[in-house]
C-alpha cells in the first residue's frame, strides 16, 4: 500500500479527545480519510469499534495485522497500540466504548461481521451528540450496539506479525508482493540467515509455516483487492493461483464466502 502522508496530527487528536472522555458508555465519531494515509502507531484510552462505510482499512497492532473491508468492523480494547492505513478513500464511522461497555463485548481484538442492523445503529449513534440524553434515543442505540457487537461473528481477517527484525523484513516484503513466488531459501538471503533458521522463526513467532503464512497473506490481499473491485481472475493471480476455480475453492474455505460475494462488499457513498 502506497503511503502518502500521516493524519494523526495535534488538530486531529484534539477533535477526537471529546469522544475519548465522554460521560456516555458509547459515543460515535465520524471522519473521512483520503487514500494512502497512515496514522503511525498510537493508542486510545477507550475501546473502539472501527467501521468503514466505504473503503478498506489496514490496521496493524504490535503483533497482528488486520484487513477491514466494508461490512466488517475491528474491535480494539482500550490502550491497544495500533496504526491505520487507508486503501482508497475511507469513510470511517467509529464507536468509542467506556470500560464497562467494552467489558460486555470482549477484551481481545477481533474483526466482526457487521449486520445490516449494526450498520444502521453505528450510523445513527454517530449522528447523536456526545452528551446524548441518558434516557433518550442515544441510550437505546448504545444498548443495541453493544448487544449486536457481542453477538457478531468473528472473521479470519488477521495475520500474526513477528518481532524479530530479520523475520519482519521478510514479512513486510511478502505483504508488498504477495504474488512473489520465491521459496524460503531465497527469502533466507533477504533475512541474512539460513533457510532452516527462517523456517524455525516462522513456526516459533507466528505459529505457521512459511507456506501457510504466505498463503494466508495472499488470500487476505486477494480479499482486499476484491472489495476494491478487482476481478476474480486478477485476485487469483494476486493469491498466486493459476486456476480461478482453485482460487475460488481456497478462498471460500478460508473466508466462508466466494470471490464473487466478496466483490459485492462495496457499499455506495457514505451518508
Domain check: are 146 and 21 in the same one? yes
Residues 179 and 238: their CA atoms lie apart, in Å, by: 5
Domain check: are 147 and 49 in the same one? yes
Domain check: are 94 and 118 in the same one? yes
* Alpha helices for the chain (secondary structure H): 10-20, 99-102, 116-127, 137-151, 165-176, 184-191, 195-201, 210-227, 232-238, 244-255, 259-263
Residues 257 and 251: their CA atoms lie apart, in Å, by: 7
CATH at residue 186: 1.10.10.60
Asked if the structure places residue 20 within a domain, the reply is yes
Angstrom CA distances, 85 to 65, 66, 225, 255, 268, stand at 11, 10, 15, 22, 20
Q: Of 122, 151, 180, at which residue does a domain stop?
A: 151
In this structure, the number of other CB atoms found within 10 A of the CB of residue 262 comes to 23
Contact 27, 127 (CB under 8 A): no
Residue by residue, pLDDT tens for the chain (271 residues) are 333 445 556 667 778 899 999 999 999 999 999 888 888 899 999 999 999 988 889 999 999 999 898 889 999 999 999 999 998 889 999 999 999 999 999 889 999 989 899 999 999 999 999 999 999 999 999 999 999 999 998 888 899 999 999 999 999 999 888 888 899 999 999 999 999 999 999 999 999 999 999 999 999 889 888 888 889 999 999 898 989 999 999 998 888 888 988 887 655 434 4
Closest CA relative to residue 27, chosen from 119, 145, 148, 112:
145
The pLDDT assigned to 9 comes to 61
The pLDDT assigned to 268 comes to 45
Domain check: are 11 and 143 in the same one? yes
- Domain of 211 in residue numbering reads as 163-263
The pLDDT assigned to 269 comes to 36
The SS3 assignment for 195 reads helix
Asked if the structure places residue 258 within a domain, the reply is yes
Asked if the structure places residue 198 within a domain, the reply is yes
Residue 168 exposed, middle or buried by CB count within 10 Å (0-12, 13-18, 19+): middle
CATH at residue 110: 2.60.120.280
- Exposure string of 14-43, with b = 16+ CB inside 10 Å and e = fewer, is eebeebeebebbbbbbbeebeeebbbeeee
Domain check: are 25 and 118 in the same one? yes
User: What is the C-alpha radius of gyration for the chain, rounded to an integer number of angstroms?
Assistant: 19
Beta-sheet pairing, 72-76 with 110-113: antiparallel
Q: 73 forms bridges with which residues in the sheet?
A: 51, 112
Residue 207 exposed, middle or buried by CB count within 10 Å (0-12, 13-18, 19+): exposed
- The cell for 256 is 466462508
Q: What phi and psi, each to the nearest 5 degrees, are found at residue 193? A: -150, 180
Asked if the structure places residue 130 within a domain, the reply is yes
The pLDDT assigned to 224 comes to 83
Asked if the structure places residue 157 within a domain, the reply is no
Angstrom CA distances, 120 to 5, 32, 124, 127, stand at 31, 18, 6, 11
Amino acid at each position: 500500500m502506497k503511503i502518502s502522508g500521516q493524519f494523526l496530527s495535534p488538530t486531529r487528536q484534539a477533535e477526537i479527545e471529546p469522544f475519548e472522555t465522554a460521560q456516555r458508555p458509547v459515543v460515535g465519531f465520524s471522519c473521512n480519510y483520503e487514500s494512502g494515509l497512515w496514522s503511525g502507531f498510537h493508542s486510545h484510552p477507550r475501546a473502539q469499534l472501527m467501521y468503514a462505510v466505504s473503503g478498506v482499512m489496514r490496521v496493524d497492532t504490535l503483533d497482528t495485522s488486520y484487513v477491514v473491508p466494508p461490512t466488517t468492523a475491528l474491535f480494539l480494547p482500550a490502550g491497544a497500540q495500533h496504526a491505520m492505513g487507508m486503501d482508497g478513500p475511507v469513510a470511517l464511522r467509529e464507536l468509542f466504548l467506556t470500560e464497562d461497555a467494552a467489558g460486555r463485548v470482549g477484551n481481545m481484538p477481533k474483526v466482526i461481521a457487521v449486520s445490516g442492523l449494526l450498520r444502521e445503529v453505528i450510523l445513527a449513534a454517530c449522528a447523536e451528540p456526545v452528551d446524548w440524553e441518558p434516557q433518550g434515543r442515544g441510550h437505546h442505540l448504545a444498548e443495541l450496539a453493544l448487544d449486536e457487537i457481542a453477538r457478531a461473528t468473528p472473521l479470519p481477517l488477521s495475520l500474526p506479525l513477528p518481532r524479530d527484525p530479520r523475520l519482519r523484513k521478510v514479512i513486510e516484503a511478502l505483504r508488498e508482493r504477495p504474488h512473489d513466488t520465491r521459496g524460503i531459501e531465497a527469502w533466507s538471503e533477504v533475512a541474512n540467515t539460513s533457510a532452516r533458521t527462517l523456517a524455525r522463526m516462522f513456526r516459533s513467532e507466528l505459529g505457521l509455516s512459511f507456506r501457510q503464512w504466505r498463503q494466508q497473506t495472499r488470500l487476505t490481499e486477494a480479499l482486499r483487492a476484491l472489495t476494491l473491485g478487482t476481478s476474480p481472475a486478477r485476485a487469483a493471480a494476486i493469491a498466486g493461483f493459476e486456476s480461478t476455480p482453485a482460487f475460488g475453492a481456497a478462498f471460500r474455505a478460508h473466508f466462508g464466502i466466494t470471490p464473487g460475494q466478496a466483490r459485492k462488499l462495496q457499499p455506495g457513498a457514505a451518508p
